Structure 1
């Protein structure tokens, strides 16, 4: 983050509700992805940041991508780390993997995100 600041940018590391140094929410239901996305929006508003380049790792990638989809006028770019590539049409063998298999979980996440934004339903034919 120091290197980013040294070239004139501001780097902000956000602690999501209940993670790292932040206090957990008093109501467990207030720690949803929608809440995390709202927190990003609120923080940018409070800090007076009109545009942002998001960098996210692991589960936060979903937050970054969703924020970018919901607020395209505020996001210059998105980079994610530690998230496997999930093609829209996975190879046939991957479509029939056992329930809960690691790669399948990512595919289900991507399909649910696409379904919520495109308003379509994806069907597993296995």
Structure 2
């Protein structure tokens, strides 16, 4: 299966590593948590049996956890905006606002491994 066919939040294997799709051309590596670019032509293997809703978002966070999460979300937004501008698709400010709007915070929080936040 090609990478663009995955939905955000789906888990997959690419080059023998496990990832979660985070954007149109980005994914978060499961082991390191780093966001990386994945080519649109990349062949990936969808991990079966993963229920996207099974990762619950904790109801409370400590102050330091909130700061870490907000910084990670900010990095994701910057990555998506840079991608949109680099593809030549963002011609107007409304194009950038659409990118920000599409970066849903709930979906983002479900994708993050909260166990590493302290």
Higher fraction of strand: 2
- TM-score tier, shorter chain, comes to under 0.3
Taking structure 1 as the reference length, the TM-score comes to 0.26
Return the structure number with greater relative CO, CA threshold 8 A, min gap 6: 2
The structure with the larger Rg is 1
Taking structure 2 as the reference length, the TM-score comes to 0.28
